[in-house]
Amino acid sequence: KRVATIYLRSPAYNVTRFIIAIVYAFIQGCIFLNHAYRPSSTDRWTENEATGLFGTLFLAQIIIGVSSISMVVPVMKQIRDVFYKHRASGMLAHGSLQMACLLAEIPYIIIVSLLYCGVFFATTGMFQFESRFAALFGFFALNIAIYSYWGQAFICLVSDLPTAGALQGALIGMNVFFSGYIVRPQFYFGFMKVGWYFAPGHFAYEGLVSNLFSGNSNRITATDRSAFYYFLDCDGTEDECAGTFPQYIDFFFGGFYRTDHTGMDIGVLLAYLVAGRILMWLALKYFNYVNT
């Protein structure tokens, strides 16, 4: 209850996250307003627009994730330092604090996810695929949870904000490079595959993209003589060379991002969340960075 009160009395933490979610969702969604609310039977996307939509979702995961982890660390440091004093006087156990921080964060993860996904769906006109809203919300919430909870663990693991910032940077960098957008999965080789297999951003992004556009009937017009053009086996005799979003996902990600991986994606993300909580529990139990 006390941790929840600290969250409520930290508007720089919670309100700022809400504002960032709304603003970024609106800005990113407005890029595709020209497609919003058109009948799917008449709407046409270009390859560049479809790639841009994938990139927008990738940036959304990174930007909202970075804002979550960067804002949770200073608040958690204050809570951690107070905990050390309470533990020294026998008033609070590390397990209780770990559980309190877990529960206090959940409402904010849900609200931020709903705000971003709702605004993004509205500005892109994706309400015609309302059955896919759960996929966008679910994987977006898991992504935010990983950033938030690992941020809590980092500041409990080390003594100061700069060192925690270095750990944050490592997590962010791994997700940026190995999510599968900047470098697509089919182009990883050798040791690079290790990073791709271990980056939580890979599983969040795969689950989001593959499930969000599953069954999407909007057509993507292939650029003449492009790789996608030949992927569709077009030869110039057809009136229009176009494919669907699932086909473009299969092409763009080299067949590596599929809906039948959804169970694995969710399982890996949940495993990362559990690992983050265990790491925080151990750090609170064995470390003390404040003189009491």
pLDDT in tens, 144-181: 999 999 999 999 999 999 999 999 999 999 999 999 99
Q: What is the pLDDT of residue 292?
A: 45
Retrieve residue 263's tokens: 């169970």
Residue with the two structure tokens 């309302």: 130
Asked if 77 and 155 touch (Cβ cutoff 8 Å), the reply is: yes
Q: What is the rounded distance in angstroms from the CA atom of residue 170 to the CA atom of residue 164?
A: 10
Q: What is the rounded distance in angstroms from the CA atom of residue 33 to the CA atom of residue 30?
A: 5
Q: What is the pLDDT of residue 214?
A: 85
* 110, pLDDT greater than 70: yes
Q: What is the DSSP letter of 164?
A: H
**Model confidence over 219-237: pLDDT tens digits?**
899 999 999 999 999 988 8
Retrieve residue 95's tokens: 């397990």
62 Cβ contact partners less than 8 Å away, ≥ 6 residues apart: 172, 175, 176, 179, 201
Q: What is the residue type of 226?
A: S
* 61, pLDDT greater than 90: yes
Q: What is the rounded distance in angstroms from the CA atom of residue 245 to the CA atom of residue 51?
A: 10
**Model confidence over 235-288: pLDDT tens digits?**
888 888 999 999 999 999 999 999 999 999 999 999 999 999 999 999 999 999
pTM of the model: 0.92
**Model confidence over 117-136: pLDDT tens digits?**
989 888 887 655 566 788 88
Phi, psi of 93, rounded to the nearest 5 degrees: -100, 155
Please tell me the number of Cα atoms within 13 Å of 210 on its side-chain side.
23
Q: What is the pLDDT of residue 127?
A: 54
Q: What is the DSSP letter of 44?
A: E
* 192, pLDDT greater than 90: no
Q: What is the rounded distance in angstroms from the CA atom of residue 267 to the CA atom of residue 270?
A: 5
Q: Beta strands 242-244 and 219-221: pairing type?
A: antiparallel
Q: What is the rounded distance in angstroms from the CA atom of residue 144 to the CA atom of residue 108?
A: 10
Average pLDDT score, the chain: 89
Asked if 44 and 221 touch (Cβ cutoff 8 Å), the reply is: yes
* 35, pLDDT greater than 50: yes
Provide the 3-class DSSP secondary structure of residue 219.
strand
Q: What is the rounded distance in angstroms from the CA atom of residue 260 to the CA atom of residue 262?
A: 5
Q: What is the rounded distance in angstroms from the CA atom of residue 148 to the CA atom of residue 13?
A: 12
Asked if 3 and 86 touch (Cβ cutoff 8 Å), the reply is: no
